[in-house]
């Protein structure tokens, strides 16, 4: 069955909005015209795709089965169209990238800055999240490149072998934290302090646990778990909390003298970060340009380490 892309766009917009009227406004068409488009798609599918009721439109079982595939087809069509136009000089390309917090704080902004200077017509769409979120976005074509901690390749995702680098994580505290008054701080001194960290299951949380287990210590007193890096930094800098962070994540605060690693022997650890792409299909040209800049940046950081 061949799908009409305009019908899929109409279907996806209604599914997102839950309302024919709101979708018609977004698509700049009349509700009757949009309704006719959906009826033609339903005739082609051989089944109703929406249940119509007074408060809006809800997907049927068939509609729910079609939706993720319709979204994927729409994204592939948009990216192919954009790629062709960019190659012909008719439109601006878009870099679609996802990154974990530490990369989004330093390495990715540096790469984007260089790209925007060299190719000012390029646009960049960024999502930040933990690996599961990035992997799903990569498979669904929401992004073309994912930047995260090195993991094993899967059937759908593979690492870009020549684009990887290492960062180091530390126990961090504000520049005024009372522990800094001790002559020699030990990791066990931090166990009873208040900690704020990314939630269980995230890379930094598991990384921190490994360090304490390696030192045969009980886990620290984690009072706050949050995915908000902004909140974490505020709790560290203003409320006396400790945390575990890769150095790039607090680079700006370190330079400003607000947050820094505690001088604890053996309380640091390294991890490998890398870029990932889909196994199938070609990378869009804008994504290739991003990878080229990341290679240049990470080659410098790898050589320096």
What span, in angstroms and rounded, lies between the C-alpha atoms of 276 and 138? 9
| H or E element in which residue 98 lies | strand 94-99
As a three-state string, the secondary structure of 237-270 is HHHCCEEEEEHHHHHHHHHCCCEEECCECCCEEE
Question: Given pLDDT bands bounded at 50, 70 and 90, which one contains residue 298?
Answer: confident
Q: What is the pLDDT of residue 86?
A: 60
In a domain, 198, yes or no: yes
In a domain, residue 134? The reply is yes
Q: Does residue 44 lie in a domain region?
A: yes
Residue 245 belongs to a domain with what CATH number?
3.40.190.290
Domain that holds residue 12: 5-77
Pairing of strands 145-149, 94-99: parallel
* Residue 90 confidence class, pLDDT cut points 50, 70, 90: very low
Q: Whole-angstrom Cα distance, residue 137 to residue 241?
A: 33
Indicate if the pLDDT at residue 71 is higher than 90. Answer: no
Domain contains 240: yes
* Distance separating alpha carbons of residues 153 and 120, to the nearest angstrom: 33
| Claim to verify: residue 131 and residue 265 sit in the same structural domain | no
The three-state secondary structure class of 305 is coil
Residue 82 belongs to a domain: no
Q: What is the pLDDT of residue 80?
A: 74
Report which of residues 281 and 242 the model is more confident about: 242
- For 56-81, what is the mean pLDDT? 85
Q: Where does the pLDDT of residue 297 fall: very low under 50, low under 70, confident under 90, or very high at 90 and above? A: confident
Q: Which of 33, 54, 77 is the last residue of a domain?
A: 77
pLDDT band at residue 55 using 50, 70 and 90 as cut-offs: confident
Confidence label for 83 from pLDDT (cuts 50, 70 and 90): low
Looking at the structure, tell me whether residues 178 and 249 fall in a common domain.
yes
pLDDT in tens, 109-140: 999 999 888 888 888 999 998 888 899 999 88
Whether the predicted pLDDT of 233 surpasses 90: yes
The CATH code of the domain that includes 14 is 1.10.10.10
> Would you state the pLDDT for residue 304?
46
Same domain, 140 and 279: yes
Q: In sequence order, what DSSP letters do the residues of 107-171 get, joined into one string?
A: HHHHHHHHHHHH-TT-EEEEEE--HHHHHHHHHTTS-SEEEEE-----SSEEEEEEEEEEEEEEE
Q: How much of the chain exceeds pLDDT 90, in percent?
A: 45
Higher pLDDT, 280 or 264: 264
Has residue 193 been placed in a domain? Answer: yes
Q: Is residue 9 part of a domain?
A: yes
Residues 160, 177 within the same domain: no
* 129, 213: one domain: no
For the domain that residue 294 is a member of, what is the CATH number? 3.40.190.10
Same domain, 171 and 261: yes
| Residue 173 and residue 263 share a domain | yes
| Residues forming a β-bridge with 149 | 273
Same domain assignment for residues 99 and 191: no
Higher-pLDDT residue of 101, 188: 188
Q: What percent of the chain has pLDDT over 70?
A: 94
242 and 286 share one domain: no
- Per-residue model confidence as pLDDT tens digits over 23-48: 888 888 898 999 999 998 988 888 99
Query: Considering the domain boundaries, does residue 172 fall inside one?
Result: yes
pTM of this structure: 0.65
Is the domain of 143 the same as that of 171? no
50, 77, 104 - which closes a domain: 77
Give the chain's domain count.
3
CA of residue 231 relative to chain centroid, distance: 18
Among 118, 218, 138, 209, residue whose Cα is nearest residue 169: 209
The arithmetic mean of pLDDT across residues 92-105, rounded, is: 86
One domain, residues 159 and 278: yes
């Amino acid at each position: 069955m061949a799908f009409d892309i305009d019908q899929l766009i109409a279907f996806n917009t209604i599914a997102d909005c839950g309302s024919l009227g709101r979708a018609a406004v977004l698509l700049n068409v009349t509700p009757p015209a949009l309704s006719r488009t959906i009826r033609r798609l339903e005739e082609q599918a051989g089944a109703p795709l929406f249940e119509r009721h007074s408060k809006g439109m809800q997907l049927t079982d068939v509609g729910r089965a079609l939706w993720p595939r319709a979204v994927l087809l729409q994204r592939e069509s948009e990216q192919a169209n954009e790629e062709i136009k960019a190659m012909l000089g008719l439109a601006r390309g878009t870099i679609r990238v996802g990154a974990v917090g530490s990369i989004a704080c330093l390495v990715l902004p540096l790469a984007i800055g260089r790209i925007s200077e060299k190719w000012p017509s390029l646009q960049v769409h960024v999502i930040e999240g933990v690996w599961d979120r990035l992997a799903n976005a990569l498979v669904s074509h929401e992004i073309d490149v994912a930047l995260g901690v090195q993991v094993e390749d899967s059937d759908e995702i593979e690492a870009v072998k020549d684009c990887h680098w290492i960062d180091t994580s530390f126990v961090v505290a504000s520049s005024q934290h009372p522990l800094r008054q001790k002559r020699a701080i030990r990791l066990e001194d931090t166990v009873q302090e208040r900690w704020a960290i990314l939630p269980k299951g995230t890379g930094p949380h598991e990384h921190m646990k490994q360090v304490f287990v390696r030192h045969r210590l009980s886990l620290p007193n984690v009072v706050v778990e949050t995915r908000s890096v902004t909140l974490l930094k505020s709790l560290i800098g203003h409320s006396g909390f400790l945390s575990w962070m890769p150095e790039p994540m607090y680079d700006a605060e370190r330079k400003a003298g607000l947050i820094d690693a505690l001088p604890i022997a053996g309380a640091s650890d390294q991890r490998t970060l890398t870029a990932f792409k889909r196994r199938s299909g070609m990378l869009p040209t804008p994504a290739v340009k991003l990878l080229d800049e990341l290679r240049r940046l990470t080659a410098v950081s790898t050589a320096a380490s």
